Amino acid sequence: MNQTLFSSVSKKHCQILIVGAGPAGMSAAKAAAESGQKVIMIDDNPVPGGQIWRDGANVTLPPLAVKYRQHLAALSNVEILSGSKIIAPGGSQSVIYENMSGCGEIYYQSLIICSGAREILLPFPGWTLPGVIGAGGLQAMIKGGLQLQNQRIVIAGSGPLLLAVATSVNQAGGNIAGLFEQTSWRALFSFAFTLWHWPTKFYQALTSFNSAYRANSYVLEALGDKQIEAVRIQQGTTEKIIPCDRLACGFGLEPNTDLGQLLGCRLESRALAVDERQQSSVENIYAAGECSGIGGGELSLVEGAIAGYSATQQYQRAEELIKQRQKWQHFANKIIQTFPLRDELKTLARPDTLICRCEDVPFSMLEPHTNWRQAKLNSRCGMGACQGKICATAAYHLLGWQTPPPRIPLSPVRVQSLTNEEK
Ligand SMILES: Cc1cc2nc3c(=O)[nH]c(=O)nc-3n(C[C@H](O)[C@H](O)[C@H](O)COP(=O)(O)OP(=O)(O)OC[C@H]3O[C@@H](n4cnc5c(N)ncnc54)[C@H](O)[C@@H]3O)c2cc1C
């Protein structure tokens, strides 16, 4: 059906198609390529790396990232399609992609989905003011070259990403005006005492520690007229107002499961469900990295390798990695236990707080309804450019509403791609 909807001018064939070129995708490609089979790895960024290894003007890539990139670039059986996004499933065992040159279709025997995760943005009064941004989003802009000299930055939310972003802000010349973690000191200390199980993480925690870090603290409101000017923070039992030029918020990550769902893969805990071999509920489809559960770069790497080996029937190689995966899964579980979002964060939105930024839908228009579909039909929430990626996830956290199944196209596409007209 989708073949008639999208004009597919170029056709490509491979044995293993990998969607996403972050740590999971690169590791899957490297492992799958060892079988000698033809691999295509596609990613919408200009160069491989995903989120954690995102390249840019302000980036010195870690040696491991450089090693993966060079290794893959040198393999004759791996084709890397950068700057290209998968926009829909095709016919049987194919997907449709779009890039600067147009639209195409890739036929595969096995598919490995490594589509990563996106930030959770929770609405609070003032969250749509210019200057308020996702913490990972600010980090991506810094990596792309943004300079922050003489700017006061407040970072708030939850999880280890906050510390990584603080390091990036310092490197870009910004002043950290506050660094607020919503979880308790108690939870943090008990997490810190387990870190010796993962020495590299222990070292990372020590080297990224920031003296501005405060636990048991969370954002209440962003203040300002045309632009953020200050942020109101709850710190323990007291409230504070902190002047700032930017507020970067990170409330955790949401797995990117849309493509898998459209291909019939089952979800478990909001991620693509996988078995020991990283195989999804659909026989020739595998999933690895954060689309199959949030767990960090190390877990993504090992899951990617297991998926790559399994999809190419190198089962012995896959099994050798199971213990390593357990180790990093254990770390991921600790993170989840340490940083659950507190209920107060889910009650910050006021009646006039926008929930859907694309269609300007305030919280008061959602409240009379009992589920996402009803609210959408009556208010247009989730009908804008992001198609609910932000607001439907927020509604899940705020109201407990099930997120609707994804629809094609997976992201905005050019009209030409929809019209079946070749250039
Ligand atoms: C904004 C952001 C910033 C982060 N920064 C850090 C950090 O500094 N440190 C840290 O430890 N962790 C960070 N993380 C967590 C990080 O995502 C993981 O630890 C790690 O990068 C996960 O690897 P992955 O391969 O699963 O996914 P990713 O690295 O996210 O890679 C997935 C790739 O798939 C691509 N993709 C998705 N859908 C499609 C599609 N339809 N078509 C084509 N390409 C597609 C994405 O663009 C992306 O390049 C960040 C996460 C986010 C969301």
Q: What is the pLDDT of residues 202-236, one digit of tens each?
A: 998 889 889 999 999 999 999 999 999 999 999 99
What gap in Å lies between CA 170 and CA 164, rounded to an integer? 10
The mean predicted confidence, pLDDT, of the chain is: 95
Ligand 1 center from residue 23 Cα (angstroms): 8
Q: Which residues have a Cβ under 8 Å from the Cβ of 242 and sit 6 or more positions away?
A: 154, 177, 178, 230, 231, 233
Q: Which atom of ligand 1 is nearest to the CA of 165?
A: 8
DSSP annotation of 69 reads H
What gap in Å lies between CA 249 and CA 162, rounded to an integer? 8
Question: To test ligand 1's pocket by mutation, which of 17, 45, 52 has the most ligand atoms within 8 angstroms of CB?
Answer: 52
Q: What is the pLDDT of residues 21-44, one digit of tens each?
A: 999 999 999 999 999 999 999 999
pLDDT value, residue 423 = 43
Q: Which atom of ligand 1 is nearest to the CA of 51?
A: 29
pLDDT value, residue 91 = 86
Beta strand pairing status for 228-235 and 110-113? unpaired
Give 98-135 as a DSSP string: EETTEEEEEE-SEEEE---EEE-----TTTTSTTEEEH
pLDDT value, residue 262 = 97
Mean pLDDT of 258-265: 97
> Which residue's C-alpha comes closest to atom 34 of ligand 1?
20
pLDDT value, residue 111 = 98
Ligand 1 center from residue 52 Cα (angstroms): 6
- Report the half-sphere exposure of 369 (CA within 13 A, side-chain side): 20
Q: Which candidate, 203, 196, 219, 222, places its Cα nearest to that of 126?
A: 222
Ligand 1 center from residue 295 Cα (angstroms): 11
H-assigned helices in 172-253: 185-192, 199-208
Mean pLDDT of 315-334: 97
Q: Which residues have a Cβ under 8 Å from the Cβ of 270 and sit 6 or more positions away?
A: 254, 255, 257, 403
Q: What is the pLDDT of residues 108-150, one digit of tens each?
A: 999 999 999 999 999 999 999 999 999 999 999 999 999 999 9
Reported as a pLDDT band with limits 50, 70 and 90, residue 6 is confident
Q: What is the pLDDT of residues 383-402, one digit of tens each?
A: 998 899 999 999 999 999 99
Ligand 1 center from residue 284 Cα (angstroms): 23
Q: Which atom of ligand 1 is nearest to the CA of 137?
A: 1
Q: Is 161 in the pocket of ligand 1 (CB under 6 A)?
A: yes
Fold agreement (2-118+254-336, 123-250): yes
Determine what percent of the chain is predicted with pLDDT higher than 90: 90
What gap in Å lies between CA 192 and CA 198, rounded to an integer? 11
> Which residue's C-alpha comes closest to atom 51 of ligand 1?
51
CB neighbours of residue 339 within 10 Å? 22
Ligand 1 center from residue 116 Cα (angstroms): 5
What gap in Å lies between CA 169 and CA 270, rounded to an integer? 31
pLDDT value, residue 5 = 67
Mean pLDDT of 81-108: 95
Q: What is the pLDDT of residues 288-317, one digit of tens each?
A: 999 999 999 999 999 999 999 999 999 999
Q: Which atom of ligand 1 is nearest to the CA of 23?
A: 25
Ligand 1 center from residue 223 Cα (angstroms): 31
Place of tokens 């905005």: 412
Q: Is 54 in the pocket of ligand 1 (CB under 6 A)?
A: no
CATH superfamily, domain at 2-118+254-336: FAD/NAD(P)-binding domain (3.50.50.60)
Whether the CB-CB separation of 2 and 43 falls below 8 Å is answered with no
Exposed, middle or buried by CB within 10 Å (0-12, 13-18, 19+), for 231?
buried
Q: Inform me whether the pLDDT recorded for 421 exceeds 60.
A: no
Q: What is the pLDDT of residues 346-381, one digit of tens each?
A: 999 999 999 999 999 999 999 999 999 999 999 999
pLDDT value, residue 52 = 95
Q: Which helix (H) or strand (E) holds 71?
A: helix 63-73
> Which residue's C-alpha comes closest to atom 49 of ligand 1?
50
Locate the domains of the chain by residue range: 2-118+254-336, 123-250, 349-399
Q: Is 22 in the pocket of ligand 1 (CB under 6 A)?
A: yes
For domain 123-250, is the CATH number 3.50.50.60? yes
Beta strand pairing status for 246-250 and 152-157? parallel
> Which residue's C-alpha comes closest to atom 42 of ligand 1?
85
What gap in Å lies between CA 406 and CA 142, rounded to an integer? 31
Mean pLDDT of 81-90: 96
Q: Inform me whether the pLDDT recorded for 83 exceeds 70.
A: yes
What gap in Å lies between CA 10 and CA 91, rounded to an integer? 15
